[in-house]
Amino acid sequence: MDRLRALEVFVEVVKRDGFARAAEALDTSPANVTRYISDLEAHLQTRLLNRSSRKMSLTSSGEALFERAKSILDDVAEAEAIVSSAALQPHGVLRINAPLSFGVLHLAPLWAKFMRLYPQVELDVSLIDRVVDIVEEGYDMAVRISRAGAASNVARKLATSHNVLCASPDYIQQRGMPRSPADLLQHDGIGYSYAATADAWHMLDAAGQPHSVRMPCVMHTNNGDTARAAALGGLGIIWQPTFLVGADLRAGRLQRVLPDYHLPEMDVLAVYPSRRHLSAKVRVMIDFLVQELSGTPPWDRVA
């Protein structure tokens, strides 16, 4: 018995909810599908499917095998795609979506190096802060910064994005330095419109105890650079990633606020539609970004 083929047939039967539909999808006969399922059950010495003339359902053993078999088949498909695409020269238009500020500050300086390595790839880069549907909008891949991951796509982590509270020295001098999260209620915040928690700022103290403050914001913006500029102008306190404000903190243009409190971190992800049939141009771009952003990311390195 070809066990890999048997697993493929079993998964297709479950997905298609029937032997005949699975046979059609696999371009084989229902008799062959029945034989594979029977041989697989005999090999495993357990029933995988409860079958009647009108209904089919998974047994508990079938449920366990189905989830694992799907994962195995995905891994096999990914390995085949890597091997087959390795022989292909990356070429053609590569459409990438990325967040605006991150794309300008940390991706734009990398594109020339990438294109020197892969001259037959033509980059088409769109910088948009909203989360796009990469399939619906025709992108080959996206770079995202998120705690939510990428539920409907496949993602590979590139780096960690650390968040901090900070304000200008002039603001701190005029309004005082907050000593606890509760002190933030006496200050002005600059809110980020795309934040999942809106104006609720969550953090952990040194003992791991959670604290939450609904920050009184005097301004909101959907762009991190605008929030940064407002903070540099002394308007208030911002919650922003170090990839945006790290240089300002090192130069003293901004000061950390509540540095002993830990803010949730975000993942910088390369997101693409599927592991199956991953094109050479997407594969080499992801590998390139992993290499460039590995270890301590550039925005957190001390020069």
Contact 1, 43 (CB under 8 A): yes
pTM comes to 0.66
User: b vs e for 183-209, b when ≥16 Cβ sit within 10 Å of the residue's Cβ?
Assistant: ebeebbbbbbeeeeeeeebebeeeeee
| pLDDT tens for each residue of the chain, 303 residues long | 788 888 899 899 888 888 888 888 888 888 888 888 898 888 989 898 888 767 788 888 888 888 888 888 878 877 776 666 555 678 889 999 999 999 999 999 999 999 999 999 999 999 988 878 888 888 999 999 987 554 556 889 999 999 999 999 999 999 999 999 999 999 999 999 888 788 999 999 999 999 999 999 999 998 899 999 999 999 999 999 999 999 999 999 999 999 999 999 989 999 988 765 678 899 999 999 999 998 888 888 765
Contact 194, 99 (CB under 8 A): no
Phi/psi of residue 249, nearest 5 degrees: -65, -45
Task: Look up the CATH number of domain 3-86.
Answer: 1.10.10.10
Q: Coil, strand or helix: which one is 203?
A: strand
The ranges assigned to domains in the chain are 3-86, 92-156+266-293, 163-257
Torsion of CA 158, 226, 109, 195, to 10 degrees: 10
Say which CATH superfamily domain 163-257 falls into: Periplasmic binding protein-like II (3.40.190.10)
Domains 92-156+266-293 and 163-257 fall in the same CATH topology: yes
* Residue 82 burial (CB count, 10 A): 13
Task: Look up the CATH number of domain 92-156+266-293.
Answer: 3.40.190.10
